[in-house]
């Protein structure tokens, strides 16, 4: 046991010498062992590295390079698709809003002035040779046209459940309207289409361009109807539709018997006729006046300065005004002649003080029952020195004599063009109060004011007449 320890001491150095002499171990001892370097994962390529990878000297695999190019192209297409979608979405709803506003505004102007709409429909019927259609039948297409435009306008505005069907109906409606405007632009049967009444007056060519644009919009939203967003829930359309349609019909009915609630006519209340009406040489330059006579078979046209024909052969028919320009304001055509044929337009306009003007666009259709009120009004004007004008269309002499005979009228019957008279007051008959050429107030036949026969027209009393309620259900009378 004592000799074991020295043996171990001898063996250890020998082992060390063996290790040192080994070539591999010697090399390992000469090169110190370094710690193992962790493997770094490949990071995504930056734009710079991608660009460098595309260079000819890049070591990127061609398959990977093709993949990168395809990814770039896909992203560009997605960006363009998003931009186009947003632009298309906005454009569809802008077109839808323009169409909705156009339909609703057009419907409002028709409901606001149904008499003017019927007059325009009468012009169309006359151009087609259907002159025998009575006016009361023309109210049927007038109310239907108003309802159709109202429904289309409100449906497009709120975005109803059946958007494709509504857009298709709007397209069909605009196709019909465009066909009509092509006809009037080529044939020129009427001076303007009457699309917006007297609120916005367009020439026939302007109307055609407008309808072509609206038709293109209607076709566009029909093709992209799913992009029209809804303003209300799809099941709540009736909440908006019913009140709007009922309101349009109510407005149409009210303005048929009363006057337009918004007066777009050139003879609106507050208009100073001295500033708007052209007289003298300026008036003569704008239209040509012809006096029409007939002998039963032939027609004779004479200028105002010509001598009257033989009354035993030729019978007076009407005084015709031919415009020398494409479109003029209605006040440009305003003229009044007395029962002797003398022009009294300037006398009416330059009159200082109050004047009552009774407008009768169709003397044959005027109810005789109103004659008592008119006779009392004439006496009232004579009592206080006011002017009284009874302006009727250029009716034949038999109609005038029949009116005077049946009504015992003492006032003279003046004449003017029936279209101008209709624009003065939208009723037959109508009543205007003028103060030194300025229109103070207008009344329909069922709203004639009850005037105190003993009171003068002082400012406070005139204000009372202006603010007085209409008397549709009360008899026409004067307070004696």
pLDDT digits (tens, 9 = 90+) for 42-67: 444 444 444 444 444 445 567 677 77
What residues pair up with 323 in beta bridges, in sequence order?
A: 287
Higher per-residue confidence, 210 vs 318: 210
DSSP strands (E only) in 156-245: none
Q: How far apart are CA 185 and CA 193, in angstroms?
A: 9
Q: How far apart are CA 460 and CA 470, in angstroms?
A: 18
Residue 321 has what pLDDT?
A: 64
Give the model confidence (pLDDT) of 416-444 as tens digits: 888 889 989 999 889 999 999 999 999 98
Angle between helices 371-384 and 397-407 (to 10 degrees): 80
Q: What are phi and psi of 380, to 5 degrees?
A: -60, -45
What is the DSSP pairing of strand 354-360 with strand 387-393? parallel
Q: Tokens 């009140």 map to which residue?
A: 243
User: With 90 as the cut, is the pLDDT of residue 144 above it?
Assistant: yes
Peptide bond into 322 cis (omega under 30): no
Region 458-478 average pLDDT: 63
Q: What is the DSSP string of 20-78?
A: HH-HHHHHHHHSPPPPPPPPPPPPPPPHHHHHHHTSTT--S-HHHHHHHHHHHHHHHHH
Region 185-207 average pLDDT: 87
Residue 110 has what pLDDT?
A: 95
Return mean pLDDT, the chain.
79
Q: How far apart are CA 143 and CA 148, in angstroms?
A: 9
pTM, full prediction? 0.71
What is the DSSP pairing of strand 315-323 with strand 354-360? unpaired
pLDDT band, residue 333 (cuts 50/70/90): low
Among 356, 360, 404, 397, smallest CA distance to 379 is for: 356
pLDDT band, residue 7 (cuts 50/70/90): very low
Give the model confidence (pLDDT) of 81-121 as tens digits: 788 888 899 999 999 999 999 999 999 999 999 999 999 99
pLDDT band, residue 449 (cuts 50/70/90): confident
The 3-state DSSP class for residue 198 equals: coil
**312 DSSP 8-state letter:** T
The 3-state DSSP class for residue 222 equals: helix
Give the model confidence (pLDDT) of 145-170 as tens digits: 999 999 999 989 888 767 888 899 99
Q: How far apart are CA 440 and CA 132, in angstroms?
A: 37
């Amino acid at each position: 046991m004592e000799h074991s320890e020295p043996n171990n001491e001898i063996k250890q150095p020998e082992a060390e010498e063996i290790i040192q002499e080994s070539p591999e171990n010697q090399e390992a001892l000469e090169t110190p062992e370094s710690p193992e370097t962790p493997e770094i994962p490949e990071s995504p390529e930056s734009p710079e590295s991608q660009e460098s990878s595309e260079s000819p000297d890049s070591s990127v695999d061609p398959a990977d390079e093709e993949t990168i190019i395809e990814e770039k192209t896909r992203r560009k297409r997605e960006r363009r698709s998003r931009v186009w979608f947003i632009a298309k979405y906005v454009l569809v709803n802008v077109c839808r809003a323009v169409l909705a506003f156009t339909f609703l505004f057009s419907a409002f102007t028709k409901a606001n002035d149904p008499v003017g709409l019927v007059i325009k429909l009468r012009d169309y019927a006359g151009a087609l040779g259907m002159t025998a259609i009575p006016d009361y039948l023309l109210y049927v297409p007038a109310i239907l046209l108003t309802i159709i435009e109202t429904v289309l306008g409100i449906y497009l505005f709120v975005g109803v459940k059946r958007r494709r069907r509504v857009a298709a109906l709007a397209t069909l409606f605009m196709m019909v309207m465009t066909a009509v405007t092509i006809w009037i632009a080529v044939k020129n049967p009427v001076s303007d289409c009457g699309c917006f009444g007297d609120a916005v007056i367009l020439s026939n060519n302007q109307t055609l361009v407008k309808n072509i644009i609206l038709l293109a919009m209607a076709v566009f939203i029909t093709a992209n109807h799913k992009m029209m967003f809804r303003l209300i829930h799809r099941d709540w359309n009736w909440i908006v539709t019913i009140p709007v349609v009922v309101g349009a019909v109510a407005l149409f009915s009210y303005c048929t018997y009363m006057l337009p609630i918004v007066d777009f006519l050139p003879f609106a209340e507050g208009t100073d006729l001295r500033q708007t009406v052209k007289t003298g040489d300026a008036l003569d330059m704008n239209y040509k006046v012809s006096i029409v006579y007939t002998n039963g078979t032939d027609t004779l046209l004479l200028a105002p300065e010509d001598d009257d024909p033989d009354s035993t052969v030729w019978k007076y028919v009407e005084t015709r005004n031919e415009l020398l320009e494409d479109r003029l304001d209605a006040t440009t055509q305003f003229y009044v002649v007395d029962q002797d044929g003398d022009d009294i337009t300037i006398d009416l306009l330059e009159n200082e003080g109050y004047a009552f003007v009774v407008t009768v666009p169709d003397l044959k259709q005027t109810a005789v029952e109103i004659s008592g009120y008119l006779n009392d009004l004439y006496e009232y004007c004579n009592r206080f020195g006011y002017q009284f004008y009874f302006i009727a269309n250029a009716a034949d002499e038999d109609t005038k004599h029949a009116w005077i005979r049946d009504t015992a009228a003492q006032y003279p019957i003046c004449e003017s063009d029936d279209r101008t008279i209709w624009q003065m007051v939208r009723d037959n008959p109508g009543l205007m109060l003028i103060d030194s050429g300025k229109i103070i107030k207008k009344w329909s036949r069922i709203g004639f004011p009850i005037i105190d026969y003993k009171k003068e027209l002082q400012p406070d009393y005139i204000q009372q007449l202006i603010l007085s309620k209409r008397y549709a259900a009360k008899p026409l009378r004067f307070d004696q």
